[in-house]
Amino acid sequence: MRVRRIRADVSPLLADIFARLGPASRLARFLYPKRTLTEAELRYLTDIDHRDHEALIAVTRLRAEPVGVARFIRDRSDPTSAEVAIAVVDEWQDRGVGSLLIARVTGRALRQSITHFTALTSAGNLRVRRLLAKAGDVSVIARDGATVSYRVALAAPARVPSSAPGTSRCHARIR
């Protein structure tokens, strides 16, 4: 696995990731059944300053197949806070990609003086809750019907996570 910063030229890779998210994964990521990404959305998702808006993409080493993306966007009213989001294509879930991405995006956030993440997710999304716990101490800041808002006090990531026994290992370097 390779992890690199998103640039404007990766729009096709992001579109591929989105196309390979099943309905449940899209609902978990966007909180509604999103069917397409518009050109304007792709531009927004790739127009990154790498300070206030950081995004990383994970691709396979051999075929450079995109398998996941993580990003944070700094809160303008609180520069020590950023909203975080992660998506991993269905066939690569539960193989360590999300853990790898949360570790890398957390490291990038800490280098930009971000001390905590926020995340809005569906109340039943325990997978995201467990992933957020890998970034630091998680607390619930609000519940609103079917959604939960979390706050994560960031901790320096340990080493790059490796996957569980019996799954593909994720080795990464950031470019």
Task: Kindly report, residue by residue over 65-108, the tens digit of the pLDDT.
Answer: 999 999 999 999 999 999 999 999 999 999 999 999 999 999 99
What angle separates helix 39-46 from helix 11-19, to the nearest 10 degrees? 120
Residue 175 lies in a domain: no
**Are 6 and 55 in contact, with CB atoms under 8 Å apart?**
yes
Domain count, the chain: 1
Determine, yes or no, domain membership for 129.
yes
pLDDT one-digit tens code per residue, 49-77? 999 999 999 999 999 999 999 999 999 99
Instruction: For the chain, give the percent of residues with pLDDT over 70.
Output: 89
End-to-end CA distance of the chain: 12
- Position 33 in a domain: yes
CATH number of the domain bearing residue 97? 3.40.630.30
In a domain, 165, yes or no: no
pLDDT tens-place string over residues 140-158: 999 998 999 999 999 977 5
Domain for residue 166, yes or no? no
Give residue 100's domain range. Answer: 2-154
Is the pLDDT at 161 greater than 90, yes or no?
A: no
Residue 29 belongs to some domain of the structure: yes
In a domain, 145, yes or no: yes
In a domain, 109, yes or no: yes
